Amino acid sequence: MDIIASYGTMLVLIAAAVGFFMAYGIGANDVANAMGTSVGSKALTIKQAILIAMVFEFAGAYLAGGEVTSTIRKGIIDAAPFVDIPELMVLGMISALFAAGAWLLMASVLGWPVSTTHSIIGAIIGFALVAVGSEAIQWGKVAGIVGSWIVTPAISGFIAYLIFMSAQKLIFDTSTPLQNAKRYVPVYMGLAGFVMALVTIKKGLKHVGINLGTVEGYALAIGIAVFVGLIGKVAIARLKMDPKADKQMQFNNVEKVFAVLMVLTACCMAFAHGSNDVANAIGPLAAVVNIVENDGVMAKKAALAWWILPLGGLGIVAGLAILGKKVIKTIGEGITHLTPSRGFAAELAAASTVVIASGTGLPISTTQTLVGAVLGVGMARGIAALNMSVIRNIVVSWVITLPVGAALAIVIFYVLRFAFGV
């Protein structure tokens, strides 16, 4: 308790710095989820993607990043053992943020798309193990996360495969692809509108105090889907395209339509990602601020200080702008060759999986979701279309994320304990 009383301001400043560092890592690594497919399919240049993501990620993080956040991230550890030793919780959360941020930075430099959620969870498990022992860890939740390494990419890969194959059958493999695109693309647009509306409703609106019930949420999403589909129908009908053009020219025109769709889905994914994953940086930071402000008393919920959300949003934007290119290239170009229609199938499948997961409570990583979706699109063209060495590196990076996060957090936790004489 003396440490919190003596060094409270310093601890908050250190937590703010490592919280920004963690958000920087999220921006550098995780934002490729929203933008990688758009860049890989040439729908956007890297500069355009980074500018769009900066706007929508920050908007998501700041507007819908959470007015109130649970102090213990994802319920992975039990707060009860820390009630009498809150200073260890403070040092632990600081070490977890620093450890997770360091691993994300390392992975981003190597171009590995890893899970920011799993990075912070691994780090929290690490410090809790050495601070109070294994009884503080909810091992059932940890098992669910490990299971999600297989389940999440499998679901999104299967959905991406179905979406891509349907576009092939209904549009690209027909004798009149342009005519069929005018018929079916508004349906895909409506489907995208429906899924993206659900992602925003489930992941974003609840954070700004708008709590829609299940029926209202789905009704609103259906309304948006119909509206988007009708706009799509009008817009595509107005496109001046020669139906007598050769097949390759028709294909190119159809891909241009999917490119526009991809940009829209990417914006929605960036907003949803910003609103959801900024919590990986601000959750532990809010816990530290809450404990220090309450003189060591831990509340179950922590009202966010006004400066925390903008700090998280700025960190994400800085990481994306400075270091985001490498992971964007891995997802967009490294796994398989993407065109706008393939990228759209992957993006829509990833968003659909996010909706399914949030409805069922499945622990999810947006990174693994999108990588799985890109794999699904590649598989639709045969195993030869996949770059197996890149995929192997990605899978290895996923498996080592939890233990590396835990190990780094343990080392940093002991260093902090020594520094503050705890």
Each of the 422 residues of the chain gets a pLDDT tens digit; together they read 578 888 888 999 999 999 999 999 999 998 776 788 888 888 888 888 888 888 888 887 777 665 434 544 456 787 788 888 888 989 999 999 999 999 999 999 998 999 888 898 899 999 999 988 888 888 888 887 778 778 889 999 999 999 999 999 998 888 888 888 888 989 998 998 888 788 777 665 655 566 677 788 889 889 999 998 898 888 777 767 666 777 778 788 888 888 888 887 888 778 777 777 777 888 888 888 888 888 777 766 656 778 888 898 899 889 988 888 888 888 888 888 888 989 989 988 988 887 777 666 666 778 888 899 999 999 888 888 889 999 999 889 988 998 999 999 999 999 999 998 87
Residue 77 has φ and ψ, to the nearest 5°, of -125, 155
Tell me how far apart the alpha carbons of residues 362 and 117 are, in angstroms, rounded to a whole number. 13
pLDDT, position 163: 92
Q: What gap in Å lies between CA 337 and CA 410, rounded to an integer?
A: 40
Domain count, the chain: 1
Q: How far apart are CA 208 and CA 204, in angstroms?
A: 7
β-pair partners for 68: 303
C-alpha 213: how far from chain center = 24
Check residue 48 and give its pLDDT.
Answer: 87
Please check whether residue 188 is in contact with residue 194, taking contact to mean a CB–CB distance below 8 angstroms.
no
The answer for residues whose C-beta is within 8 angstroms of residue 276's C-beta and 6 or more apart is 60, 203, 204, 366
What number of helices (H) and strands (E) belong to the chain? 15, 2
In the three-class reduction of DSSP (H, G, I as helix; E, B as strand; rest coil), residue 83 is classed as coil
d(CA 139, CA 264): 39
DSSP state at residue 137: B
Buried b (16+ CB within 10 A) or exposed e, 150-162: ebbbbbbbbbbbe
Beta bridge partners of 77: 137
DSSP 330: I
What is the domain extent for residue 148?
Answer: 2-420
Residue matched to tokens 């399919």: 41
Residues near 2 by beta carbon (within 8 Å), at least 6 away in sequence:
none
Which residues touch 181 (CB under 8 Å, ≥6 apart)?
A: 171, 236, 253, 254, 257
Evaluate whether 75 touches 142 at the Cβ level (below 8 Å): no
| Residues 163, 176: Cα–Cα separation, whole Å | 19
Q: Measure the CA–CA gap between 267 and 38, rounded to whole angstroms.
A: 10
